[in-house]
Copies of this chain bind each other. A is one copy, B any other.
């Protein structure tokens, strides 16, 4: 299909929408079709599957959206009978970017995303601020005067419109976007410095995602930044980022509670800053407390009697503190492997991993070569795939189609690293490629855990340096040992529970109330009907970056890519509300799972 034909399709489709002819518009889609919308039509994040859902969505949103100006952006490409094209469009309140896949002349997938609000465009490039007003201006305030005044007032004499609980990568990226959009925002962080949520993790931690995947908005890492950021270097970057982005960031401040005042339409947020009790009254409250922010500790019989050190993986310090000691790690995902390897490298007397259930394992190299690399790599960048294009390309694939797209990738990876998998099998390590073979990407979306991106620990298991007890768990803890369910007793000076994290709405339960947590329901997960991700299918990550059943409550989190990409859409939703731009939300999912 040529550029002209795609353009014709788009013009005709746009015309059908313009004359409110929903039937005609739906007819531009094939039977097997998906329309993913990020705010532009629905003011939520939702994928519509099949002509009926699309028809219903258009019937409800077309009047308020008034889409127009559909135009191709760049040249369409044709691959295996599928034509792909980027496009731009407008709504009555904003400008959007979209992506289209046509098959046999009809739409297979459509992505529509809101990118900016008319009249509230971010100032950059030619429209950047001058930095100084020329001329003689009586009682002129300097940048520092204004910055100091803002810091002195916000949250003290002037209420922030938005409060973000959690000043890690998610909170920082979102706050940067809100700053650019002029939304008065306070970030509340319990640690002393921005970046501490990385710094305080175990000493050997290095990001498992590559640098091209990890950029924050507005200020990419320089070209010499390492492929995999060491956690302290990442911490320093976040700290300087928060500073140069002029975020209003309250460190060393604990959020002790939050309560929504329905009548006033605002939150009462309670804080503790070194014993000082402070209350804030924002209209919007964002929980950015981390996808991996609420440690899950199993109840272990006899744990109180343990005379060694017992900790959750999030509290583990450094392998070098356990030279010569007997160490047991419960769990077999990323942190479990990292910590076990660190312990072995730093001379632990023995390291045993207790594997309770199967994990997805893929080498970092294989993922770079066959998964990330196509969109997030130096080669991709040199081919013109900027971070923004990569993010939108990822967004253009409906979650329903992801498994089919990923299965062949993981089949290739399985062949590529056959020797590794053979070794793991021999060592008794339980691994899979996800229930449907769709690998780490799906597993992450379904449950936010369940995999190890191998950077060396698998070989240590194969070689027996890290001992393995698989298909096993801890039955009881004794003063200087643990007893497994098969009766084995392992000497233990250290027991690390790398047992994962609770859903983000556990934080809502803790900070707001169990009732509100249950009202909004579980965060994350697609409803795929696989292990830890029960149905029904919802087709998007539950409650993330979009309106929830609780007015004024938002969830933000995930890896750096998600923190970067979705912070835009969350920021636009908050800005629109602040400016009283109508934001008719098409639909908020009912709650299927409370935690």
Contacts and interface: CB of A to CB of B under 8 A. Distances in A.
A568 interface: no
A129 interface: yes
Nearest to A461: B136
Interface string A207-224: 100010000001100111
B131 A229 contact: yes
A346 B222 CA distance: 41
Nearest to A223: B124
A465 interface: yes
Contacts of A341: 136
Contact of A136 (B147, B211, B459): B459
A203 B144 contact: yes
B228 A456 contact: no
Given A139-B345, A224-B128, A347-B139, A364 B134 contact: yes
Contacts of A129: 224, 226-227
A132 B228 contact: yes
A464 B459 CA distance: 80
A228 B130 contact: yes
Given A230-B142, A236-B243, A456 B222 contact: no
A338 to B, nearest CB: 11
A126 B212 CA distance: 11
A244 interface: yes
For chain A, the bracket of interface size reads 35 or more
A344 interface: yes
A446 to B, nearest CB: 27
A123 B224 contact: yes
A541 B547 CA distance: 62
A384 to B, nearest CB: 15
Nearest to A218: B222
B226 A460 contact: no
Given A130-B227, A226-B131, A138 B345 contact: yes
B131 A228 contact: yes
A233 interface: yes
B228 A237 contact: no
A62 interface: no
Nearest to A341: B136
Given A132-B206, A222-B219, A347 B138 contact: yes
A345 B125 contact: no
A456 B233 contact: no
Contacts of A211: 128, 131
Given A226-B130, A456-B134, A456-B136, A378 B347 contact: no
Interface of A: 122-126, 128-132, 134-140, 142-145, 147, 180, 203-204, 206-207, 211, 218-219, 222-230, 232-233, 236-237, 239-241, 243-244, 341-342, 344-347, 364-365, 378-379, 455-457, 459-460, 463, 465
29 contacts: A122-B224, A125-B223, A125-B378, A126-B378, A128-B211, A128-B223, A128-B226, A130-B227, A131-B206, A131-B207, A131-B228, A131-B229, A131-B233, A132-B230, A134-B455, A134-B456, A135-B459, A136-B456, A137-B456, A139-B347, A140-B342, A140-B345, A140-B346, A144-B203, A144-B232, A180-B224, A222-B244, A237-B244, A240-B241
Given A122-B224, A240-B241, 4 more contacts: A126-B379, A131-B228, A140-B204, A143-B232
Closest 7 A/B residue pairs (Cβ)? A131-B226, A240-B240, A143-B230, A131-B228, A124-B223, A135-B456, A132-B206
